[in-house]
Amino acid sequence: MKRTLAVLSLVAGALLICSLRTMAQTGNAAQTPSAAPAQSGIDRDISMLRQDLRSKKKQTIAANLQLTDADATKFWPVYDQYVAELTKINDEKYAVIKEYGDAWGNMKDDQALSLINRALAVEEKVAQLRIKYVPIFSKVVSGSIVATFFQIERRVQALVDLQISAQLPLVQAQ
């Protein structure tokens, strides 16, 4: 499992570094009309990155969660439903990150407070989604599988979050 998570972390880190550097480089240009195609290219790259991360995350979970064929038949549809809801929440998360990147360098106090409050609200939504899905998963697989799934899911998300936060400069550094 450590090897799988390390590989996932490296892939996520490399892709995020490239995407965030591209965003930072085009951040000032995004204000001009001629930069609109470049911005949509960045959005497309981030969308592809997120899709790749979801795929790698699912592979990591599949490789580390010990499911019988009967368990797998019941688990994966619930997982896909969970990921669909999580993706909507993460759309908000990445919108906040994008706004942060666009505002960095000229961010005012009220904007900084708004962004942190929105980021914290997203974290709360993720926690509420996990709480919502514990009993849903528990209806289809054992409690130990549910607990293991959420351990793996949280570890993978922590790695991704660490990679993202490592690339975002502190507000006071602007």
In this prediction, residue 138 carries a pLDDT of 98
Nearest to 4 by CA among 82, 60, 43, 48: 60
Give tens-digit pLDDT for 32-71.
Answer: 344 445 557 777 888 888 899 999 999 999 999 999 999 9
pLDDT in tens, 85-121: 999 999 999 999 999 999 999 999 999 999 999 999 9
* pTM of the predicted structure, to 2 decimals: 0.76
Chain Cα centroid distance, residue 52 = 11
pLDDT greater than 60 at residue 12: no
Please give the torsion angle defined by the CA atoms of residues 113, 118, 122 and 124, in that order, rounded to the nearest 10 degrees: 60
Mean pLDDT of 122-138: 98
Nearest C-alpha neighbor of 121 from the set 98, 90, 167:
90
Tell me which residue has tokens 């997120």: 50
